């Protein structure tokens, strides 16, 4: 759903020439706005021209007419209402409706801030979204120059309420400022959602970490087991080696014993031979 948008700005004397240059396309190269398509500038509509030529002169003229004596150099001498709508509104609507929207908005502003205070009005169609700049002097009904009074917080609230009631509602637009408050809420919701998403991500990461650490401890256990197996095997090998050594010793002992027995046997055989010879001698 598209929103109707109205925004107010304040200007001191020294800012007015720059504002006028933008509104009236007085300088071709804008240092502040690079979105201007000068080929379309011919379509811009100048609805109200400053009566005394320049914005500043027209403001000063109006201030003088109101009988304001003292104007400080830093006083707000002009305000600007910027009227537009969400880009969707302009995409769907034809030129007639768009023109009617800006005209109704201008009537509304003349009524709200005083027709005699309106200095200038321009519809710009050569930037990204169609919009209208309306410049007015902030002179109160009792002829004081007071931006503080005319665009106080409560007055701005009233402006938004009445702009919606008298203008944007008829064009099927939603309330801009409340929209922007909602936008603010949306932002909070969005932030909440983002935080939720982030905390989900964090808990996902934690879960993954836990998984990884359990994988690691499983691997560690596996390695431990493997180490244990290796140690066990080493022990077994050691035992086998011991047994081999034992057998070697036994074999050696046996060999020794065999040698001894052989010797003894030889000795006995010799003895027997001697005894046999003796016996032969004795028998003859
Ligand atoms: Mn503009």
- As a whole number of angstroms, the distance between CA 134 and CA 105 comes to 10
String of DSSP letters for the chain: --BEEEEEEEEEGGGHHHHHHHHTT-SSS-SS-----GGGGGG-EEEE--TTSSHHHHHHHHHHHTT-----TTSEEEEEEEEEE-HHHHHHS-HHHHHHHHHHHHHHHHHHH-GGGEEEEEEE-SSSS-EEEEEE--B-TTS-B-HHHHT-HHHHHHHHHHHHHHTGGGGTPBPHHHHHHHHHHHHHHHHHHHHHHHHHHHHHHHHHHHHHHHHHHHHHHHHHHHHHHHHHHHHHHHHHHHHHHHHHHHHHHHHHHHHHHHHHHHHHHHHHHHHHHHHHHHH-
Query: Taking the alpha carbons of 223, 224, 226, 227 in that order, is the dihedral positive or negative?
Result: positive
The pLDDT, as a whole number, for residue 281 is 87
What is the Cα–Cα distance from 22 to 16, expressed in whole angstroms?
A: 10
For the cut 50, the answer to whether the pLDDT of residue 190 exceeds it is yes
Tokens of 264: 């003894």
Report the separation in Å between the CA atom of 131 and the middle of ligand 1, taken as the mean of its atom positions: 7
CA 214 – ligand 1 centroid, Å: 63
Distance 154 CA to ligand 1 centre (A): 27
Torsion of CA 95, 96, 97, 98, to 10 degrees: 40
For residue 175, the CA-to-ligand 1 centroid distance in Å is 22
Beta pairing class for 76-85 and 45-48: unpaired
Q: What is the torsional sign of CA 168, 170, 173, 178?
A: positive
The mean pLDDT of 248-272, rounded to a whole number, is 90
Q: How far is the CA of 140 from the centre of ligand 1 (A)?
A: 27
Assigned token pair, 185: 């809420």
Q: Compute, in angstroms, the gap from residue 36 CA to the centroid of ligand 1.
A: 8
pLDDT of residue 184: 46
- Full set of structural domains in the chain with CATH: 4-184 (3.30.930.30)
pLDDT tens, 103-151?
Answer: 999 999 999 999 999 999 999 999 889 999 999 999 999 999 999 999 9
Please tell me the distance between residue 49's alpha carbon and the centre of ligand 1 in angstroms.
Answer: 15
Rounded CA-CA distance 70/78 in Å is 15
Query: What angle, rounded to 10 degrees, do the helices at 153-166 and 176-283 form?
Result: 100
Tell how far the Cα of 242 is from the centroid of ligand 1, in angstroms: 100
Q: Which residues surround ligand 1, an ion (CB under 5 A)?
A: 124
Distance, in Å, from the CA atom of 110 to the CA atom of 101, rounded to the nearest integer, reads: 14
Retrieve residue 204's tokens. 């996902």
CA of 42 to the centre of ligand 1 (A): 13
Mean pLDDT over the full length of the chain:
88
Residue 227 Cα to ligand 1 middle (Å): 79
> Would you state the pLDDT for residue 201?
84
Residue 156 has pLDDT above 60, yes or no: yes
Q: Does the global pTM surpass 0.75?
A: no
The pair of three-digit structure tokens given for residue 64, joined into one six-digit string: 């003088």
Predicted pLDDT at 227: 85
Tokens standing for 159? 């402006």
Which has the higher per-residue pLDDT, 210 or 119? 119
How many residues are present in the chain? 284
CA of 186 relative to ligand 1 center, distance in Å: 28
Residue 206 reports pLDDT greater than 50: yes
Q: What is the dihedral of CA 196, 202, 205, 207, to 10 degrees?
A: -80
Q: What is the pLDDT of residue 179?
A: 44
Per-residue pLDDT at 103: 96
């Amino acid at each position: 759903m598209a929103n109707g948008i109205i925004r107010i700005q304040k200007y001191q004397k020294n800012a007015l020439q720059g504002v006028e240059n933008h509104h009236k396309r007085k300088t071709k190269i804008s240092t502040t706005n690079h979105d201007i398509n000068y080929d379309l500038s011919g379509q811009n509509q100048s609805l109200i021209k400053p009566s005394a030529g320049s914005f500043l002169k027209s403001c000063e003229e109006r201030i003088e007419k109101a009988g304001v004596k003292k104007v400080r150099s830093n006083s707000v001498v002009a305000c600007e209402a910027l009227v537009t709508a969400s880009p969707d509104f302009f995409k769907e609507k034809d030129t007639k409706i768009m023109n009617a929207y800006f005209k109704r908005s201008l009537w509304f502003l003349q009524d709200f801030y005083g027709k005699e205070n309106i200095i200038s009005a321009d519809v710009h169609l050569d930037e990204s979204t169609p919009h209208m700049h309306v410049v007015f002097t902030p002179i109160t009904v009792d002829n004081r120059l007071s931006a503080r009074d005319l665009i106080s917080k409560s007055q701005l609230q009233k402006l938004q309420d009445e702009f919606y009631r008298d203008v944007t509602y008829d064009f099927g637009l939603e309330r801009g400022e409340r929209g922007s408050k909602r936008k603010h809420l949306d932002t909070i919701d969005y932030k909440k959602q983002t935080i939720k998403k982030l905390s989900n991500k964090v808990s996902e990461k934690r879960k993954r970490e836990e998984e990884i650490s359990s994988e690691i401890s499983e691997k560690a256990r596996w390695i431990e087991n493997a180490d244990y197996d290796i140690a066990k095997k080493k022990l077994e090998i050691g035992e086998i080696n011991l047994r081999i050594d034992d057998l070697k010793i036994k074999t050696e002992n046996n060999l020794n014993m065999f040698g001894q027995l052989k010797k003894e046997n030889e000795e006995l055989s010799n003895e027997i031979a001697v005894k046999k010879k003796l016996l032969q001698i004795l028998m003859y």
